[in-house]
Structure 1
Amino acid sequence: MLETKPALSFENGVMVNYSDLLAIAEEYKSLPETIVTAAQGSRANAVKSDLKKNADLIKKELKAEDKRRSEAFYEENHGAVAALDTLLSVREDLVERTNTWEKTRLDANMPVLEAFIDEQNELHHLDSQHQLSANDWRKLGTFTPTGKIVGKVQNEIVSQARLAEYDQNKQPELTPLDLLKRDLNRAFSELYSNYEDDGIYGGKDIKDDLAKIAQLLQ
């Protein structure tokens, strides 16, 4: 866990803790050029957040003090501008380095996730339309520091595979046209059965039966 950083503040128009912040920023530069462990990656991400918070605070305080005291403040407290530039520069460097590390780590771990996804697709007999994609879970939080899939993520993938299987195998809902065809088939079937059972109908009876079917076509 990172120690508490000194907070930037202004007292009587003078910036407080500027030197301490710059010293800490210099310390951050000593992080390895290539981040190789999850702990280093976690620290770097925390540092990025901390630097952004302090940089935002400097910008906010500069604007507020400028309104209070005029542009002369920048000449009296030029260190604030330097602190902002330094913190932003260090943060940009960390962003680039951690982004590279995160991509490298993800690329190394993805085969494990892809194998598990393929296993679930095969286990649930999912077709191309319903198959799961490993890209849906492509993020650092999917993996433990040792490169294994986090348990709750595995459970989520299994649940999604089961839902996909259900969706794939459920009977399609009948459209209005399908319902009409079904009702027409039943009507003709019943009409045919009546003629078979009761013998020959008269013309009026046939018209009455056909009228019932005609209603279905309206």
Structure 2
Amino acid sequence: MFKVLGIIFIVSISFFYIWAQYFHTPIFSFIVSFVQGFHVTPSLTSCIAPAVQGWHINFYVYIIFIFSTLFIILSEKHFLRPKKIFFVGISLFFIYFSIQSYYYVYDFLRKDVLVSLLSSQEKKKIIFGSPFEFSRLCKSVLKGRHSAKLITDIDLSSSEGMFRHRQLSYFLFPIDIRVKPQYQPIDTYVAFYKKNAAEYIPDGFKIIFERGDNFLLAVKERRN
């Protein structure tokens, strides 16, 4: 077993050196990138490991597995010992998931400690991000029910865009961005991730809240 681990170590270091030279990266930096490549961040729809230097992390693991197996076969007096090949696979599997499990535990502890010290509003800000924070700021300056039109550069026909729209609709309410202008008069404009948003606000509306060039809230001016 120790021989198998030794061969895996030697093969890994050899390939780390080759890959570091290929990518013009210091070997230590490449090893750090490789280890961090096991850091999978689960999302609502996927759990995909990031690429390392443009190549999926599993590519490197497969290369190490193949060449470690080849070296073990060549180092044996007998041409092939399935038991040793099995040990290579088990060892790499253990290393792979040990590193990944470390990141899961690290993330959990870090986020658990961080979140436990925050207020409920701050927790929502971390979890839901810009839709929650922008909506909170909008409702702090505009009270009551309003019929709003959303202007944005986000593709609302994509799954990500539709999800963002639902989030924003929920957090903005009672500022309603789901109304249809042909059925209900618009008295508010909401710009969310809209480049140069102020240019898209029509005459007769006054900007009452603005954050950068991409976020704003405008209401219909009252006529005296």
TM-score of the aligned structures, taking structure 1 as reference length? 0.31
Which one has a bigger Cα radius of gyration? 1
Work out which structure has the larger RCO, using CA pairs closer than 8 Å and 6 or more positions apart in sequence: 1
More helix by share: 1
